[in-house]
Amino acid sequence: MNRLRRGLRNWGLGFCGLVFLVGCGSTAPIHYYQLSAMPYSATEETPSRVEDGTVVGIGPVDIPSYVDRAHLVIRAGETELELLESDRWVEPLQRNLTRVLIDNLSQELASDGINALRWDEGFSLDYRIRIEFTQLDFSKTGEVSLGARWIISWQDSQETLVIKTSRFHTSSIPGDYRSLVSEMSRHVESLSREIAQAVRSHI
């Protein structure tokens, strides 16, 4: 009888250990996201050299500190935010945004003979565009909101030519973070087109 009891007890301990291991192995996978630039058109004309065209420096590009982190931040209410453990940016969001903006503006302005570059790359600039994002929000209900204040100025004199605030808001699929990030990329594209139009109007 004692032998039977010991066997049952050992079997029970082994079964519990197996359940524990299976539980540990079921951790949710981590998904990584990145904002994307507008599709490249092979027909667009690009200045062959920076010296051949007008040079516009982009930056600095600032983002709110509450989204400046590896995890996606979701607005759960008017004053409540949640960090998603399993959904993250593959690179710093500020770096990703800056690159996408420069890529978008380069494509938008290439046919006008205008080069869009980082403002701190060491080139002599004709104009400079500073961008401060005031809102980069995803919500639990699927809303995607972007707000940005941007300034175009002469580089040499720092004289301001344009000061504008842009806002974009749409709804997507709640909980589908791939769709939400894609929607934010489209907002950045819309912002880029707005800025490009203002550049054309003042250069």
CA dist list (Å): 10 to 3, 81, 100, 176: 11, 47, 59, 45
Query: What pLDDT, on a 0 to 100 scale, did the predictor assign at position 40?
Result: 81
d(C-alpha 187, C-alpha 197), whole Å: 15
pLDDT for 13: 44
Cβ atoms 120, 59 nearer than 8 A? yes
What is the full DSSP assignment across 113-181? Answer: TEEEEETTSSPPPSEEEEEEEEEEEEETTSEEEEEEEEEEEETTT--EEEEEEEEEEEE--TT-HHHHH
Written as tens digits, the pLDDT of the chain (203 aa) is 555 455 445 544 444 443 444 445 568 899 999 999 998 875 455 554 556 689 999 999 999 999 999 999 999 998 999 999 999 999 999 999 999 999 999 999 999 999 999 999 888 999 999 999 999 999 999 999 999 999 999 876 678 999 999 999 999 999 999 999 999 999 999 999 999 999 999 87
Quote the DSSP letter at residue 106: H
C-alpha separations of 94 from 43, 101, 201 in Å? 30, 11, 27
One CATH from 3.40.50.10610, 3.40.50.880, 3.40.50.720, 1.10.10.10 for 51-202: 3.40.50.10610
Looking at residue 159, its pLDDT comes to 85
